[in-house]
Amino acid sequence: SCMPSNHTVFFTGLTTLVFDWLLTKVTDSVEIICQKLTAQDHLLVVLMKLTLGLSNMDLAYRFNVSKTTISNICRSWIPAVSVILKPLIKWPSKGAVLKSMPKVFRRNFKRCRCIIDCTEMFISRPSNLTARAQTWSNYKHSNTIKYLIGITPVGAISFLSPGWGVRVSDKQITKEGFQIRDELAACGATLRIRHFTKGKRRWKKCKIFQTVIPVSQLNILDVIVCAALTNLCKMTAAFITVYCFAKIWPSAELTCSL
């Protein structure tokens, strides 16, 4: 990439090295939509959409193409990016969690494996009355889709549910308000309920979560969320960076301080 590294981070949320790695991976699985734009431009469109929450009209103006072209790029490339990044959302082993656990957790929650919470994304008003009713949020005064996310103590996304209509409560998504102590006890685990907001702040850093998703994009909303979440996760960037350097210098012994 010829873009300065600090600009790459601002526009895409990724370092230049990680951007180039992702570009190499995604170009093997998706075609160029607009011959006027390079593969690098296609990926830049997608990441600017996710990271900055830019409208298709805005992106069309920036890249000197039509709004329809931007829409087609996003519908084709976002799922491809998601396929590449989805394996990075995985449940870590107990040893991996303990090895990377922050000191504050070691003192107070040394057995913690995962923090879970629900959050919502705004969507445009569906024309279908049933869908409109299923997604209406009295709390948000808007139509929304709800997601359950799991985050490890160090901040890695370890679980992401499919989207739910907001009429499905947090309690239903998480087994009636986390009433799963018996099931956890059978596995030798315990449940601790605490107020948690740091994960939500990380979620909100990706500007697309502050926009209203058109109904026309609901069929790819889950992959939009997957791609966006893994892009803004610092551990993902760290993992990819180490992976890239290992490929370039396979004999080097690399460690990632998390």
Q: What is the pLDDT of residues 158-168, one digit of tens each?
A: 888 888 775 65
Buried b (16+ CB within 10 A) or exposed e, 46-82: bbbbbbbbbebeebbeebebeeebbbebbebbbbbbb
Q: What is the pLDDT of residues 42-82, one digit of tens each?
A: 999 999 998 888 999 999 999 999 999 999 999 999 989 88
Predicted local distance difference test score (pLDDT) of residue 240: 47
β partners of residue 147: 119
- Check whether residue 114 and residue 202 sit in a common domain: yes
Predicted local distance difference test score (pLDDT) of residue 42: 96
- Check whether residue 70 and residue 100 sit in a common domain: no
- Check whether residue 75 and residue 28 sit in a common domain: yes
Q: Note the Cα 95 to chain centre separation in Å.
A: 24
- Check whether residue 68 and residue 95 sit in a common domain: no
- Expressed as residue numbers, the domain containing 16 is 5-87
Domain boundary among the residues 32, 63, 87 is at 87
As a whole number, mean pLDDT of residues 120-141 equals 86
Q: What is the pLDDT of residues 237-248, one digit of tens each?
A: 555 444 444 443
108 vs 78: which has the higher pLDDT: 78
Predicted local distance difference test score (pLDDT) of residue 118: 77
Please indicate, yes or no, if residue 238 is contained in any of the structural domains. no
Domain count, the chain: 2
As a whole number, mean pLDDT of residues 188-196 equals 64
- Check whether residue 66 and residue 126 sit in a common domain: no
- Check whether residue 65 and residue 127 sit in a common domain: no
Question: Is the pLDDT reported for residue 234 higher than 50?
Answer: yes
Predicted local distance difference test score (pLDDT) of residue 223: 73
In the predicted model, what is the mean pLDDT of the chain? 77
Q: What is the pLDDT of residues 131-146, one digit of tens each?
A: 888 888 887 888 988 8
Among candidate residues 78, 88, 92, 20, the one with its CA nearest the CA of residue 221: 78
Please indicate, yes or no, if residue 161 is contained in any of the structural domains. yes
